[in-house]
Amino acid sequence: MSRIEKALEKAAQMRNCEPAIHVVEKPVREEVPPPRQSETRTITINADNRLLPTIKEPHSAVSEQYRKLKSALVRLTNEDRFRNLLMVTSAIAGEGKSMTAANLAISMAQEYDLTVLLIDADLRRPSIHNYLGFEQTIGLSDCLQDGINLGDAIIKTDIDKLSIISAGREVAKPLELFASKKMQDLMAEIKHRYNDRYVIIDTPPLLPFAETRSLAHIVDGVIFVIHEGVTPQESVAEAKEILKGCPVLGVVLNDSTALDLENSHYSRYYTRQTAS
Ligand SMILES: Nc1ncnc2c1ncn2[C@@H]1O[C@H](COP(=O)(O)OP(=O)(O)OP(=O)(O)O)[C@@H](O)[C@H]1O
Ligand SMILES: [Mg+2]
């Protein structure tokens, strides 16, 4: 009997009546068999998502900005050696990290002779499956918790060179799992196992979650997103301090009004890359 049930029973005894409710506890995780994906799943990306202009409108001004971002990253990551493990992050929540990661991955897989693995490492609030439009099955959390093989967690997409590892099953303590040694080991495995392709990792924000910071020290490159007019300057300054010593490749200014787009409809999407 759980502590809650005991407390309820005791309260009932004190009232001299039966407990009015019964607590149904969630089954402990160990009782749930890890899901299996018998064969590689292929999903069709939701081409109607207005937040995926790289698919919906590949010739738009916004998609052009993503192409510029991609070109700069390809240049920066091929200077001395191939630096393939890249993470997208930002100072605070809701700045456009997932949208940037998804569009960047699509843009890379579409246009260059590049293969891309997009990983949703935001175990706290996963959203890549929502952006691309598919149901989550197994993913990163299952690899971390249940030792599922990375290869079994990979989802193919209708864009030939783009595959995905989604966040996976909901976990009780996502941030602990994110910060675990297992996560570090898994990232090292991903980097070497998929050393022929770019790995784009969507992460939680930096300031509220110390765990994201540890990842920033492991990856080959950090892409830092700032939501123009939204991210407070002091948050950007704080994040800049945190990222000292990390391989920051550049900054994406999301939702910028800096570019005079011909079609104002697109201005909300405008993403300017300012890598230095
Ligand atoms: N340039 C943009 N144009 C239109 N909508 C945007 C833009 N940038 C962000 N949004 C909106 O802001 C919301 C947050 O975007 P996104 O999920 O990419 O942020 P995030 O940084 O990944 O958030 P979280 O920290 O919760 O993971 C989305 O619902 C999206 O609709
Ligand atoms: Mg996100």
Q: Is residue 269 within 6 Å of ligand 1 at its C-beta?
A: yes
Average of per-residue pLDDT across 38-65: 90
In angstroms, the CA 21 to CA 8 distance is 8
- Mean pLDDT is highest, among 9-13, 35-39, 161-165, 260-264, for 161-165
Q: Where are the domains of the chain?
A: 1-32, 38-273
In angstroms, the CA 193 to CA 149 distance is 12
Q: For residues 102 and 118, is the Cβ–Cβ distance under 8 A?
A: yes
Q: Is residue 125 within 6 Å of ligand 1 at its C-beta?
A: yes
Pairing of β 155-157 and β 162-165: antiparallel
Distances (CA, A) of 205 to 6, 87, 114: 40, 11, 27
Q: Does the pLDDT value for residue 40 go beyond 90?
A: no
In the chain, the largest separation of any two C-alpha atoms, in whole Å, equals 77
- Condensed to tens digits (0 to 9), the pLDDT of residues 236-266 reads 999 999 999 999 999 999 988 765 444 433 3
Distances (CA, A) of 39 to 96, 133, 148, 155: 32, 20, 13, 10
Q: Which ligand 1 atom is nearest residue 205's CA?
A: 25
Q: For residues 223 and 95, is the Cβ–Cβ distance under 8 A?
A: no
Q: Is residue 90 within 6 Å of ligand 1 at its C-beta?
A: yes
pLDDT band at 84 (very low <50, low <70, confident <90, very high): very high
Q: Which ligand 1 atom is nearest residue 127's CA?
A: 17
In angstroms, the CA 112 to CA 220 distance is 20
Q: Whose CA is nearest to atom 13 of ligand 1?
A: 94
% of the chain with per-residue pLDDT over 70: 79
Q: For residues 118 and 4, is the Cβ–Cβ distance under 8 A?
A: no
From 165, 223, 170, 173, select the one nearest 190 (Cα to Cα): 165
Residue ranges with strand state E in the chain: 41-43, 85-90, 116-120, 155-157, 162-165, 198-202, 221-227, 248-254, 271-273
Q: Whose CA is nearest to atom 30 of ligand 1?
A: 96
pLDDT band at 34 (very low <50, low <70, confident <90, very high): low
Q: Which ligand 1 atom is nearest residue 99's CA?
A: 18
Instruction: Compute the distance from residue 11 Cα to the ligand 2 centre, in Å.
Output: 43
Please state which of the four CATH numbers 3.40.50.300, 3.30.230.10, 3.40.50.1110, 3.10.50.40 is assigned to the domain occupying 38-273. Answer: 3.40.50.300
Instruction: Compute the distance from residue 235 Cα to the ligand 2 centre, in Å.
Output: 17
- Condensed to tens digits (0 to 9), the pLDDT of residues 158-214 reads 999 999 999 999 988 888 888 889 999 999 999 999 999 999 999 999 999 888 998
